[in-house]
Amino acid sequence: MEKFTVHTGTAAPLRRSNVDTDQIIPAEYLKRVSRTGFADGLFKAWRDDPTFVLNQPAHATATILVTGTEFGVGSSREHAVWALQDQGFRAIVAPRFGDIFRGNALKGGLLPVELPSEAVEWLWDALDADPALAVTVDLEAREVRAGERSWSFPLDDFSRWRLLEGLDDIGLTLRHEADITAFEGARPSRLPRTQAA
Amino acid sequence: MSDQPRTLAEKLWDAHLVRAGGDEPDLLYIDLHLVHEVTSPQAFDGLRAAGRPVRRTDLTIATEDHNTPTDNLFSIVDPVSQTQLETLRKNCAEFGVRLHPLGDDEQGVVHVVGPQLGLTQPGMTVVCGDSHTSTHGAFGALAFGIGTSEVEHVLATQTLTQRPPKTMAVTVDGVLPEGVSAKDLILAVIAKAGTGGGIGHVVEYRGEAIRALSMEGRMTVCNMSIEWGAKAGLIAPDETTFAYLEGRPHAPKGEAWDEAVAYWRTLPTDEDAVFDAEIVIDAAELTPFVTWGTNPGQGVPLGAVVPDPSVYTDPVQRGAAERALEYMALTPGTAMRDVDVDVVFVGSCTNGRIEDLRNAAEVLRGRKVADGVTMMVVPGSARVRAQAESEGLHEIFREAGADWRFAGCSMCLGMNPDKLAPGARSASTSNRNFEGRQGPGGRTHLVSPQVAAATAVAGHFAAPADLV
Ligand code: SF4
């Protein structure tokens, strides 16, 4: 996984709440068996609309998405994270995220940044006024900065450390393999197994 | 563990802790991992790249559901879908995972297959790369959806790193009125709590009306926990649970059964345990429900009208309602019963079980699907289909003019050939009415199987009691 420390880029204001996973990428686009190539399905239903924010030249290469509350509710499809990354996004700013989406984003190194609604609305207005506004997402300081403003955002220490170091989750867990084996040894034998019916 | 009174969710958590506390999240052991074709290919690729095996093939099972056709068992028209299914078959063969492919007697929607085999049992942890894994919580199992990176993590380690969620109780007191189903109940809960109301929480559904539900009804309720953001939904195991499980292929037998039941009886939430939040609902006030918008929280009683967005004081909700009405082509003030539908879909992991099909068939018996309406009935699994045929339900559906299909996710999501045409309006027993969920431009209204069947006959939204 690519490390995330401090990222400065341009941002796209997506003035919608409740952008669910079917909006981020419809099911039709989930058929690939690779981890890349999902950008063509990103926000599919809106991509033909010339007024859609990512169709505006000023926002087409944004690396930070600033959006409304409950972003990523719905399905567990990690393809939603991959599609956003394929499009070039490194961080998503919203007041609140769907739980599974948030977890998937953290796994893949797409930073979910929770800021209060007032901050999101300030950013929307500021980005409308100046689409080239530089926005900084600083994971070390757990802070977003834009213009004269700054806001801190919450993230637990462990997730922050993993992202800063770009560490592989499975490798981290396998440090505890002895604990897993001990736990397995104590599981009751009546628990079901898929193979012997 | 501590002597503090604990909730069911806390007991399940504690019983699966491989490792707790410190600077790291908890490490939870996973008792059952369900796999399907859409969210697993990249996980198996990851294992291959790292040279890792599947740690517990005996706790892993796969089925094909999202991409499969439901009009035949053999020909998959879309080559990309075909590749995804073949990839699953190859991966399962290579890593030694049990698979129920298209055409197999046990094939079906992953959340229908686990319970019917008796693999889902109280006290377990169950995960799947699918958000509706919450379904299995109906057995008193901690069950939740995960992403593909986590699928790989579970395949490799049989564990997940997790932070303890908050707990919430949804208490439904009293008795559901005649004609009101589990689906109506959960749609009403979501309308009340809002689509984000459960975020960060494991929800336990309790109270008299929940206790009175069958296992099928409980699965319908838990299935939709994710639709209001909950991490998982739970119902405490009781005699209804035990009766459903006894004799199923993977249920414990003999002494192991007695031992299991004795353990399961210790699981319900302790009397003095405290939840972080609680919602109380009076079952007597519930009626058949239907959604009008583009998220599952945008629903009203069937007898109500399409709401006016101006009733929302919260500007975010008002904006969402305005957009939803435009997408759904509905005018505020229109009676829901005056809204005509083009397609009726009975099926999915929410309402594709045998009891759901019986309920729909009961309404359709001796009646006809209205002219201009297409009705599809899609069993949740091959076994449900066989059971329904042994009861003659397929004859009732066919005589009414409905299409009787093979098992799969079907029109629940626009991924296989069963899609809603742009602009078409459906009454659907599935769980998501998101924009384009059933096909680009399609307009979905979520309902119970009973309302779906009555709507098919009437041609517009209707309850069975409306039919003459
Ligand atoms: S039936 Fe629908 S909700 Fe259930 S697993 Fe299939 S696509 Fe998902």
Task: Tell me the backbone φ, ψ of residue A16, rounded to 5 degrees.
Answer: -145, 150
Yes or no: is domain B166-236+269-285 CATH 3.40.1060.10?
A: yes
Span A17-34, pLDDT tens digits: 999 999 999 999 999 999
Task: Tell whether A100 lies on the interface with B, counting CB pairs under 8 A.
Answer: yes
Q: Which residues are within 8 A (CB) of A108 and not within 5 positions of it... i.e. 6 or more apart?
A: A1, A78, A81, A82, A85, B149
CA distance to A36, A54, A65, A91, B273, per residue, from A87 (Å): 10, 10, 11, 12, 47
Contact A22 B45 (CB under 8 A): no
**CATH code for the domain in which residue A48 is found:** 3.20.19.10
The pair of structure tokens assigned to B216 is 């099928």
Residue A109's domain comprises 6-186
Chain A residues with CB-CB distance to B428 below 8 A:
none
Task: With residue B112 as reference, give the H or E element that holds it.
Answer: helix B110-116
Contact B312, B321 (CB under 8 A): yes
- The CA–CA distances, whole Å, from B466 to A185, B221, B288 equal 59, 25, 12
- What stretch(es) of chain B map to CATH 3.30.499.10? 8-163+239-264, 298-466
CATH number attached to the domain at B298-466? 3.30.499.10
Q: Is B409 in the pocket of ligand 1 (CB under 6 A)?
A: yes
Q: Is B412 in the pocket of ligand 1 (CB under 6 A)?
A: yes
| For chain B, counts of helices (H) and of strands (E) | 16, 19
Contact B230, B244 (CB under 8 A): no
Q: Which pLDDT does position B75 carry in this prediction?
A: 85
B148, A104: Cβ pair inside 8 Å? yes
Q: What is the pLDDT of residues A38-51, one digit of tens each?
A: 999 999 999 999 99
Distance of CA B461 to the CA centre of its chain: 22
Any ligand 1 atom below 6 A from CB of B224: no
What tokens does B24 get?
A: 């790291």
Taking the CA of residue B415 as reference, the ligand 1 atom at the shortest distance is 7
Residue B132 contacts residue B223 (beta carbons within 8 Å): yes
Nearest residue on chain B to A169, judged by CA atoms? Answer: B153
Report pLDDT for B289: 98
**Separation between Cα atoms, residue B133 and residue B26, nearest integer Å:** 20
Report DSSP letters for B299-329, one per residue.
EEETTSBPPPGGG--SHHHHHHHHHHHHHHT
pLDDT in the model for residue A75:
94
**Based on the structure, what is the number of domains in chain A?**
1
d(CA B395, CA B364): 11
Q: Is B322 on the interface with A (CB under 8 A)?
A: no
Strand (E) positions, chain A? 6-9, 11-14, 64-67, 91-94, 111-114, 135-138, 143-146, 149-152
Contact criterion met (CB below 8 Å) for A9 and A135: yes
Question: CA A155, CA A92: separation in Å to the nearest integer?
Answer: 13
Ligand 1 pocket test: pick from B34, B224, B413 the residue with the most ligand atoms within 8 Å of its Cβ: B413
Residue numbers in chain B where pLDDT is lower than 70: 1-2
The residue whose C-alpha atom lies closest to atom 6 belonging to ligand 1 is B409
Q: Say if A192 falls within a structural domain.
A: no
By the 8 A CB rule, do A6 and A139 touch?
yes
- Exposure letters B201-215 (e unless 16+ CB within 10 A, then b): bbbbbbbebbeebeb
- Do B434 and A189 count as a contact with CB atoms less than 8 A apart? no
DSSP string, B146-166: --HHHHHHHHHHSEEEEPPPE
DSSP helix/strand/coil, B410 = helix
Which residue, B207, B137, B212, is CA-closest to B182?
B212
Note whether A106 and A159 are within 8 A (CB): yes
Crossing angle for the helix pair B182-193 and B215-223, to the nearest 10 degrees: 30
Instruction: Please give, rounded to a whole number of angstroms, the shortest distance from the CA of B121 to a CA of chain A.
Output: 8
Amino acid letter, residue B105: D
pLDDT of residue A71: 97
| Residue B144 burial class via C-beta count within 10 angstroms: exposed 0-12, middle 13-18, buried 19 and up | buried
Minimal C-alpha gap between A143 and chain B (Å): 22
Task: Using the atom order of ligand 1, give the atom closest to the CA of residue B413.
Answer: 7
Handedness of CA B51, B53, B55, B59 (dihedral sign): positive
Interval B268-299: pLDDT, tens: 999 999 999 999 999 999 999 999 999 999 99
List the end-to-end C-alpha distance of chain A, in Å, as a whole number.
40
Residue B22's pLDDT is: 81
Mutation to test the B interface, candidates A18, A85, A106, A183, most B Cβ within 10 Å: A18
**Residue B349 annotated in ligand binding:** yes
> Could you tell me the two tokens for B48?
């291959």
- CA distance linking residue B168 with residue A1, whole number of Å: 35
Digit-coded pLDDT (tens) for B238-258: 999 999 999 999 999 999 999
The total of other beta-carbon atoms located within 10 Å of residue B67's CB is 26
Domain contains A191: no
A193 assigned to some structural domain:
no
Which residues fall within 8 angstroms of residue A149, CB to CB, at 6 or more apart? A119, A122
| Three-state helix/strand/coil letters over B185-197 | HHHHHHHHHCCCC
How far apart CA B283 and CA B271 sit, in angstroms, is 22
Does B222 belong to an annotated binding site?
no
Write out residues 118-147 of A within 8 Å (CB-CB) of B: none
Q: Kindly list the distances between the CA atom of residue B382 and the CA atoms of A98, B40, B350, B445, in Å, as whole numbers in the listed order.
A: 32, 22, 16, 26
**Cβ neighbours for B77, distance < 8 A, ≥ 6 positions apart:** B69, B417
Element (H, E) at B100: strand B98-100
CATH code linked to domain B8-163+239-264: 3.30.499.10
Q: From CA A25, how far away is CA B383, in angstroms rounded? A: 32
Structure tokens at A88: 């070039």
pLDDT at A195 over 60: yes
pLDDT given for residue A168 in this prediction = 85
Burial B415-454 (b: 16+ CB within 10 A, else e): bbbbbbeeebbbbbbbbbbbbbbbbbebbbbbbbbbbbbb
Q: Which residues contact A12 (CB under 8 A, 6 or more apart)?
A: A53, A54, A59, A62, A64, A65, A66, A127
Residues 261-320 of B with CB under 8 A from A: 263, 295, 316, 319-320
User: How confident is the model at residue B2, as a pLDDT?
Assistant: 55
Q: Residue A197 has what pLDDT? A: 54
B417/A contact by beta carbon, under 8 A? no
Q: Which residues of A74-84 are buried (b: 16+ CB within 10 A; e: fewer)?
A: bbbbbbbbbbb
Give the model's confidence band at A196: pLDDT under 50 very low, under 70 low, under 90 confident, else very high.
low
Which are the contacts of B416, defined by CB distance < 8 A and separation ≥ 6?
B66, B67, B68, B69, B70, B78, B81, B408, B409, B410
Compute φ and ψ for B87, nearest 5 degrees: -65, -40
The answer to whether B371 and B365 have CB atoms below 8 angstroms apart is: no
Locate B140 and state its tokens: 């008193």
Q: State how far the alpha carbon of B219 is from the alpha carbons of A74, A192, B141, B300, B313, in Å.
A: 18, 20, 12, 22, 34
Please check whether residue A39 lies inside any domain of the structure: yes
